[in-house]
Amino acid sequence: MAELMRRNFDALEPFRRLLEGDLSPSWPRVEEFQDGNTQVIRAELPGIDPEQDVELTVVNDTLRLRAQRREQSEHKDKDSYRSEFRYGSFSRVLPLPAGCKEEDITATYTDGVLEVRAPMPERDEQQRTQKIEVTRG
C-alpha cells in the first residue's frame, strides 16, 4: 500500500510543477530509503539557513517540506562587476509510513543535506485487527 501511494505521489509531481509554472528541473533532489525500521528522506538544500529557510510539517501520514533559497555572489574587479542571484522557493509533499508518530520524527541539516527520519510503527500497530460480533436480526 505504501509503495503504491509513493508511486502515485511521484507520478503527480511533474503535473504539479507544470500547473505551478515550474518547468525547470525540480529543486531539491530528494532520495528516500529504509534504514532498518526507519524511513529516511534526504533532500539537497545547499546554501540555506535551515532554521530560517526550511519548514517541515506532518499531516495525515505525509511530510510537507517547504524551503526558500536566497543566494547571492558578487565578483568585483577594477574594470568590471558581476552579480549572480539564485533564489526561489518550493514545496514538496512526501508520503510517510502509515501510522508513524509525529513526535518520533527527527530532522537534521548537515553539509547542505536535510535528513528526515521517521520510525516505522511496529507491524502490530499498523494492522490492528478488531473482531466485530454478528448478531441475529
Each residue's pLDDT tens digit, 64-89: 999 887 766 677 777 877 766 666 78
pLDDT at 23: 47
- The pTM for the full model equals 0.64
Mean of pLDDT values over 47-62: 90
**41 and 29 Cβ atoms separated by less than 8 Å:** no
The upper half-sphere exposure of residue 130, i.e. CA atoms within 13 Å in the direction of its Cβ, equals: 4
How many CB atoms within 10 Å of residue 80? 7
17-21, 84-88, 110-114: which has the minimum mean pLDDT? 17-21
Range of the domain at 88: 2-126
Answer whether residue 51 is part of any domain.
yes
Answer whether residue 87 is part of any domain.
yes
Answer whether residue 134 is part of any domain.
no
Distance CA 118, CA 104 (A): 7
Distance CA 85, CA 69 (A): 10
Answer whether residue 121 is part of any domain.
yes
